[in-house]
Structure 1
Amino acid sequence: MSEVSEKVGAVSQSRYEQIVAELRDVVEQQTRGQFTIGDRTLEIEPCGPAAGRSRRGRPGRSRSRCGGWPRTSG
């Protein structure tokens, strides 16, 4: 008597599990890559203060901006 294999869509259950494992690895790598890109970007160009504070520390219209601060020579 032949064994009936279960299918998920057009693939066997075991192939489905291989695909899912591979894609989980890809998503993990992408997530790590996105955080690495963000970390390196912030290292190059740090963001300003939190939203709702002016440069002098008073409440105001300013919001957190990256790259918006004047450059100083030196």
Structure 2
Amino acid sequence: MTDVTDRIGNVTRQRYEQLVTQAKELIAQVARAQFALGDSILRRPQVLRRRVGQRGGAEGEVAGPGPA
């Protein structure tokens, strides 16, 4: 039987270490995805701003892609 000191909460220390390792890997994947997205946005040409009255947009409204 597993000793009480070999448990963290309701899981064994070994399982806890596995979960921590898996969580760190997932966090790293999310961080890489966020940086990749940010980098692709920075490389994108500057967005044009609409003028007042153009297609009903408000002054300074960012012109984005049309309807999908």
**How many Å separate the matches in 1 of 2:7 and 2:13?**
5
1:33/1:3 CA distance change after superposition, 3 Å: closer
Q: Which amino acid is 1:4 matched to? A: D
Q: Which amino acid is 2:28 matched to? A: E
Q: Which residue number in structure 1 is paired with residue 45 of structure 2? A: 45
Instruction: Point out which structure has higher relative CO (alpha carbons under 8 A, 6+ apart).
Output: 1
- Cα offset for 1:68? 5.0
> Which digits, 9 at most, give the CA deviation of each residue in 1:4-53, with x for residues without a partner?
2511111000000000000000000100000000000111135xxxxxxx
**How many Å separate the matches in 2 of 1:16 and 1:3?**
14
Counting helix residues as a fraction of each chain, which structure ranks higher?
2
Percent of paired sites with the same residue: 29
Q: Name structure 2 gaps, 5 residues minimum.
A: 51-68
Root mean square deviation, CA, Å: 2.1
Paired residue total: 49
TM-score computed with the length of structure 2 as normaliser: 0.60
Q: Which amino acid is 1:24 matched to? A: K
TM-score computed with the length of structure 1 as normaliser: 0.56
**How many Å separate the matches in 2 of 1:35 and 1:24?**
17
